Amino acid sequence: MLFRLLLLALTGLLVAQLGAEDARTFAALASARYFVGPDLRYSTAGGRDLKFDLYQPKGVDHPTPVVLEIHGGGWNNGSKEQVGLRALPYLRLGMTVLAIEYRLAKDALAPAAVEDCRCALQWIAANASRINVDPSKIVVSGASTGGHLALMTGLLQPDDGLDRNCDVRLRGPLPRPAAIVNWYGAADLVPLVEDPKTHPGVLRWFGNHPEPLPLASRLSPLRYAGPGSPPVFSVHGDQDEKFPYESTVAMHKALEAADVTEQLYVFSNERHGRMSDGEIIEAYGLLETFLRDVGILD
């Protein structure tokens, strides 16, 4: 069902690009211009394969920028399939997208999800030529919990102690992502642990950890924002009841103080993930400009 919906959405994309032709032609062009590869393996953890879905323009004669897309679900739910249509704005820009799965709390407690996402980043870097992507133009993106994981994945350094022994071997150091895109994710987990009613999924992800506050600090992206961080583009509602807007503001102030390129798009009087059509279109327009300004897009 997901891939049928994706095909229909790609058809709509081609309609916008090519003008009015019959629907059969658009469907044929979608299959000719874009490749969808489901359930490809990027790592193994806890005795199971970790997989991704690949969305890619066909017939490109040069390595493309690439987006590592991370799904949400409160660290306890969700799947890579649910974010497949998030590939569309990036495909329109000539980018490749990898939508990844990671271990949920029922399979492995924190910080396993972060470790898995870091392994996916390593896989892209090690296999860039194989999938025809540019390892110097990796964008890490996600919404809600995926936004938190995108921030962690992009801001961490190898010596921060959250890179587990992935079954990928890099020739040289892991390249820093070229940008991070955070759609209303949590930049600071400490307030969520101090007031678990805000988002009880955090403590379920932590399990019965004896020191949840130090763990929350260790897994808070805000802790890692500073000089040398990748550019960060964030979208957040100022009435978010799950992941406080104030922590995203604090993140961007820390980046600004460190002279890191950053932009925060605020949608007013909206709760978690609630955006009007106009706000979504405006946010993607600003994001495209941001990606051009930081050199990811020509």
Q: Is residue 124 part of a domain?
A: yes
Q: For the chain, what's the residue count?
A: 298
Q: Is residue 10 part of a domain?
A: no
Give the C-alpha separation, 165 to 115, whole Å. Answer: 9
Residue type, 117: C
Domain housing 175: 36-293
Q: Is residue 121 part of a domain?
A: yes
Task: Specify the number of domains making up the chain.
Answer: 1
Find the CATH number of the domain harbouring 162: 3.40.50.1820
Report which of 49, 50, 17 is spatially closest to residue 33, judged by C-alpha positions. 17
Give 48's contacts (C-beta < 8 A, 6+ positions apart).
107
β-bridge partners, 53: 99
Residue 151 backbone phi and psi in degrees, to 5 = -60, -45
The structure tokens 């992800």 sit at 205
Q: Is residue 167 part of a domain?
A: yes
Assign 3-class secondary structure to the chain. Answer: CHHHHHHHHHHHHHHHHHCCCCHHHHHHHHHHHEEEEEEEEEEEECCEEEEEEEEEECCCCCCEEEEEEECCCCCCCCCHHHHHHHHHHHHHCCCEEEEECCCCCCCCCCCHHHHHHHHHHHHHHHCCCCCCEEEEEEEEEEECHHHHHHHHHHHCCHHHCCCCCCCCCCCCCCCCCCEEEEECCCCCCHHHHHCCCCCCHHHHHHCCCCCHHHHHHHCCHHHHCCCCCCCEEEEEECCCCCCCHHHHHHHHHHHHHCCCCEEEEEECCCCCCCCCHHHHHHHHHHHHHHHHHCCCCC
Which pLDDT value is given to residue 3? Answer: 47
Q: Is residue 176 part of a domain?
A: yes
Which pLDDT value is given to residue 20? Answer: 47
Q: Is residue 135 part of a domain?
A: yes
Residue numbers in the chain where pLDDT is lower than 50: 1-4, 7, 18, 20
Report which of 243, 132, 260, 153 is spatially closest to residue 195, judged by C-alpha positions. 243
β-bridge partners, 159: none
**Structure tokens, 132:** 């025809």
Q: Is residue 136 part of a domain?
A: yes
Q: Is residue 26 part of a domain?
A: no
Whole-number CA gyration radius for the chain: 19
Residue type, 10: L
Its sign, for the CA torsion 207, 52, 120, 246, is negative
